[in-house]
Chains A and B, each alone.
Chain A
Amino acid sequence: MAGSNEVNLNECKTVVPLNTWVLISSFKLAYNLLRRPDGTFNRHLAEFLDRKVPANLNPVDGVFSFDVLIDRATGLLCRIYRPATAEEPEPNIVELEKPVVGDVVPVIIFFHGGSFAHSSANSAIYDTLCRRLVGICKAVVVSVNYRRAPENRYPCAYDDGWTAFKWVNSRSWLQSQKDSKVHIYLAGDSSGGNIAHHVAARAVESGIDVLGNILLNPMFGGQERTESEMRLDGKYFVTLRDRDWYWRAFLPEGENRDHPACNPFGPNGRSLEGIKFPKSLVVVAGLDLIQDWQLAYVEGLRKAGKEVKLLYMEQATIGFYLLPNNNHFHTVMDEISEFVGSDC
């Protein structure tokens, strides 16, 4: 039932491991405390509850990280993750911006999820995920700490994404040796996936190449209520009501969910036909209530003749990629690795 708050607890228990259930349920609980009916957000409590980790220049499992303030005016921070090399197993501060070594070195600009309102680049779950990406893709990962809703609505997150993109693209130390260009991939989960799409669109408009988009359970929507939304409302950690809240918090006041930010191929959207949009890897969880919108997105790309690979993980819920304790996780990581690796 659309808008229902009834939660059928038994269903999601059968499809995820216990620790995953505890993790995602804790998030869900915390998030319910933070969203106020009047559309405001308890940011202090959100920051108090979010588990964060500092950057660490000393490599852990072969990956080190450091934060860079790339726009003082907006306070835009990015966390850079680099692989420690055999020659310099323990980097010192001079190694921060040492040129990447390799014919082709992928640079993944990552946008964390959180429905535009939650989490940060230094949230523990995303720090962990980014470190994994470095390992599996042999890439440098740049995680963007974009401004969040409801304090900062559309287009702030996209603007920050664009600022980060331009910054990455202009770093000589990130250039691959083959062609002295930065080989950029855009990636993100949930709202981060949405941001990745829009930043890619802007990039190609500006004539800068993006080699690929990786969208994990990307956050899209629309005014209409789809079949999956009604069928899965409240069943697997997510309710339609909370989805609506986040869109209201992010979109400009007075706009509905057919705004192109939310519904890029909807009535107010724009076809990508004739535009050199990058290839996409779109991961859809079969138990995610917004899957119809995600599938519509994939369809929209296909209709415009864009290369897209859909990974439909039937039994997966949201957040399955946060803990490496399920088969979907490993399948997706392998696909991401191949998606990025195929250009090397």
Chain B
Amino acid sequence: MLRYDSTSSSAGSSSGSLSSSSSSSKPPQQDIDGLLAGAGYKVRSSELRQVAQRLERLETAMGNSPADFSQLASDAILYNPSDLVCWVDSLLTEFAEPPPTCSSDFIVDPVNNQTVVNSAWTTAEPHTPQVHQNITYDEQQSLDNQLTVVTAMEEDSGIRLVHMLMTCAECVQSGDLSLATSLIGDMQGLLTHVNTVCGIGKVAGHFIDALSRRIFQGMGGGSVNGGSAFENEILHHHFYEACPYLKFAHFTANQAILEAFDGHDCVHVVDFNLMHGLQWPALIQALALRPGGPPLLRLTGIGPPSPDGRDSLREIGLRLAELARSVNVRFAFRGVAASRLEDVKPWMLQVNPKEAVAVNSIMQLHRLLGSEQTRNSPIDTVLSWIRGLNPKIMTVVEQEANHNQPGFLDRFTEALYYYSTMFDSLEACRVQPEKALAEIYIQREIGNVVSCEGSARVERHEPLAKWRRRLSGAGFRALHLGSNAFKQASMLLTLFSAEGYSVEENEGCLSLGWHSRPLIAASAWQAVPAWDNHMSSS
């Protein structure tokens, strides 16, 4: 059972631009208890009493059979622990009898929403300035100002190299290209003295290359993103093998899709980037094993056109069909060749109104962001037609990074930390040539983030918080990924990967990171059914 995001308010202003933040105050947010928010829990002050009562009921239930509790906990699926009200409620439905209507022990002062002294609770002592007590929980503020850094012990030359990289990036931003150029030379010299096995030393070389490309070749960056679709697919496949990020993405998305398809006999998955179709064998097999039997599965795979007469999409489709046949799943495949996602039109997908649709986007939506936030930018267009398909679920996996900031230096800094963390995690991989090719895959991403601009810069990663706002604003609501998905993702990690990876839960979404730094985030969405007339864009 997938859970909906009960606390999300339909966000966004009525202007067409996604970048303008909501101007009207949101009463629900104002009421959030600021102190509990600091502890990671979103509870409205007006709901505290209610939560407390439910906690009491749970405690009473627990008192009766404490040993059973941990067993029940192992089996129960929990969602979004930040939303205390929902979490406590879900536990109540698992463990306790429904309550008789109980008289209130706790009263709330209607004037200022503070708890009032009575037989139950003491007042919150007004020692701190009131402004901290019920702060506006401004997610936007905290998230736009986030820069997460994990370092390892670096030798001095490593630190010097970082210093020079930053200075060089600063020069590039301010247009002092001659100083930037000489720094490039210095850095290349310094590289020979630095430990390039792990940490910043490893990735510095790639950043130096990307900077130098930006300085000397301008920002068309065609050659960076170059390489044929065929090459990209190979690199992608090796990145898949060398580290768990894509496996996590596929696995988590498949779990959610499987749940969403429950009870449907005709299902249709639209994959925004088929590549080698690595995600789908597992889903096909899971559907084959579904109690009650598999549905009819249609898969529409989007991918770039292949040159030289090959139809690589069809080839992948044939292989998947073969697998489906072997496990008795009725399967149909359709390839949609498009160089850019924004060139895809919904009619090409041939969605049947009777089927349950899952839209699957693994690191594709950011490519639609573009440099200007205009009305009907590609992202708006695509999100709009996705909504029009009324999918049962849209799974979104994106890099958890802020690589689309307008300022070059900020972007560069963020990228330096992001990719050095990612490279560090790759160190654990022992298999070749997977590791080497995975590094090239990442290197290309770095090149695009650093040395490209305008339409050539497609790696416009944005953090989960921004995607949440964007998707909510476009008429989607979050479907929460629960403790079962979390547990299985964690277990998958221990099976396939080195120590140091960690899965984190973040208000219904899951992220995979390396040593406390989340690097990739997975979320699931559904179209909000009712939509105000004046909100629908032309």
Q: Which residues of A contact B (CB under 8 A)?
A: 5-7, 9, 13-19, 21-23, 25-26, 28-30, 32-37, 42, 44-45, 47-49, 51-58, 60, 66-70, 72, 75, 77, 79, 92-94, 96-97, 122-125, 128, 145, 322-327, 329-330
- Cα–Cα, bound, A54→B414 (Å): 14
- Extra 10 A-B pairs, beta carbons < 8 Å, given A19-B33, A22-B48: A25-B52, A29-B59, A34-B70, A48-B81, A48-B487, A54-B516, A67-B149, A94-B166, A325-B125, A326-B127
**Once bound together, how far apart are the Cα atoms of A148 and B36, in whole Å?**
25
* Complex Cα–Cα for A35 and B52 (A): 22
Interchain nearest-CB distance for A38 vs B (Å) = 9
Give which listed residue, A51, A54, A97, A322, contacts B159 with CB less than 8 A.
A97
Complex CA distance for A34 and B76, rounded to whole angstroms = 12
Q: B538 at interface (Cβ–Cβ under 8 A)?
A: no
In contact, A23 and B166 (Cβ under 8 angstroms): no
Distance between B496 CB and nearest chain A CB, rounded to angstroms: 16
A45 near B73: Cβ-Cβ < 8 Å = yes
Contact, CB under 8 Å: A56 / B82: no
Q: How far is A36 from B16 in the complex, measured between Cα atoms in Å?
A: 53
Which B residues lie at the A interface, using CB under 8 A?
33, 35-36, 38-41, 43, 45, 48-49, 51-52, 55-56, 58-60, 62-63, 66-67, 69-71, 73-74, 78, 81-82, 84, 88, 91, 105-106, 115, 119-125, 127-128, 132-133, 142, 145-153, 159, 162-163, 166, 413, 416-417, 483, 486-487, 490-491, 499-500, 502-505, 515-518
Q: Which one, B45, B62, B142, B518, contacts A29 given CB within 8 A?
A: B62
Of the candidates B59, B62, B70, B150, the one whose C-beta lies within 8 Å of that of A69 is: B150
Interchain CB contact under 8 A, A96 and B127: no
Q: Which one, A45, A47, A55, A327, contacts B148 given CB within 8 A?
A: A55
Asked if A125 and B516 sit within 8 Å, CB to CB, the answer is no
| Cβ-neighbour of B146 out of A16, A56, A145, A325 (below 8 A) | A56
Give the residues in chain B near A53, CB-CB below 8 Å: 40
**Contact residues in A for B40 (Cβ distance below 8 Å):** 51-53, 123-125
Assess A67 versus B517: contact at CB under 8 Å? Given A23-B36, A324-B35, A330-B127: yes
Chain B residues with CB below 8 A from A26, complex form: 41, 55, 84, 88
Chain B residues whose C-beta falls within 8 Å of the C-beta of A325 in the assembled complex: 35, 124-125, 127-128, 133
Most buried by B among A13, A54, A57, A75: A54
Residue of B nearest to A124 (CB): B40
Residue numbers in B under 8 Å from A14 (CB-CB): 119-122
- Say yes or no: A44 contacts B487, CB within 8 Å: yes
**A49/B128 in contact, CB under 8 A:** no
- Given A35-B70, A58-B145, the answer on whether A66 and B151 have CB atoms closer than 8 Å is yes
| 22 pairs, CB–CB < 8 Å, chain A vs chain B | A5-B66, A9-B56, A9-B59, A9-B60, A17-B121, A19-B45, A19-B48, A22-B52, A22-B84, A34-B70, A44-B486, A44-B487, A51-B40, A60-B145, A67-B517, A122-B516, A124-B39, A124-B40, A125-B40, A128-B38, A323-B39, A325-B125
**A55 and B55 contact, Cβ closer than 8 Å, known pairs A21-B121, A66-B149:** no
Query: 4 closest Cβ contacts across the A-B interface?
Result: A51-B40, A124-B40, A33-B73, A57-B147
Interface centre among A18, A29, A35, A54 (most CB of B within 10 A): A18
Provide the main secondary structure of the chain A interface: mixed
- Report the separation of the CA atoms of residues A51 and B125 in the bound assembly, to the nearest whole angstrom: 25
Bound-state CA distance A322–B70 (Å) is 26
Q: Chain B residues with Cβ under 8 A from A22's Cβ?
A: 36, 43, 48, 51-52, 55, 84
A residues within 8 A CB of B128?
A: 324-325
Considering the complex, give the chain A residue whose CB is closest to the CB of B36: A19
CA distance A7 to B56 in the complex (A): 10
A98: min CB distance to chain B, Å: 10
User: Is B39 in contact with A128, judged by CB distance below 8 angstroms?
Assistant: yes
The answer to whether B515 and A93 have CB atoms under 8 Å apart is no
**What residue in chain B is nearest A330 (Cβ atoms)?**
B127
Q: Please measure, in the bound complex, the distance between the C-alpha atom of A47 and the C-alpha atom of B74, giving whole angstroms.
A: 13
Given contacts A54-B518, A56-B146, A75-B499, are A18 and B48 in contact (CB under 8 A)?
yes
Known contacts A23-B36, A25-B55: does B163 contact A96 (CB below 8 Å)? no
Q: Specify the chain A residue showing the minimal Cβ separation from B505.
A: A48
Q: How far is the CA of A6 from the CA of B516 in the complex (A)?
A: 38
Minimal Cβ-Cβ distance residue in A for B82: A51
Q: In the bound complex, do residue B150 and residue A13 qualify as a contact, i.e. CB atoms below 8 Å apart?
A: no
CB proximity of A128 to chain B, nearest CB, Å: 5
Instruction: Name which residue of chain A comes closest to B45, CB basis.
Output: A19
A77 to B424, CA, bound (A): 14
Q: Are A48 and B78 in touch, CB under 8 angstroms?
A: yes
Are B127 and A55 touching (Cβ within 8 A)?
no
B123 contacts across to A, CB distance below 8 A: 17
**Residue among A34, A37, A51 with most chain B CB within 10 A:** A51
Contacts of A145 in B (CB 8 A): 516
A17 vs B123: C-alpha distance in the bound complex, in angstroms? 6
Tell whether, in the assembled complex, residue B502 and residue A47 are in contact, meaning their CB atoms are under 8 Å apart: yes
Residue of B nearest to A242 (CB): B66
Tell me if A23 and B516 are in contact (CB < 8 A): no
* Shortest beta-carbon distance from A250 to chain B in Å: 18
Q: Say how far B203's CB is from chain A's closest CB, in angstroms.
A: 13
Docked Cα-Cα span, A240 to B91, in Å, equals 24
A5 with B63, Cβ < 8 A, contacts A44-B490, A92-B413, A94-B166 known: yes
Residue from the list B62, B78, B121, B127 in contact with A32, Cβ < 8 A: B62
**With contact pairs A29-B62, A93-B416, A94-B163 given, residues A36 and B70 touching in the complex (Cβ less than 8 Å):** yes
Query: Across the interface, which residues of A come within 8 angstroms of B56, CB to CB?
Result: 9
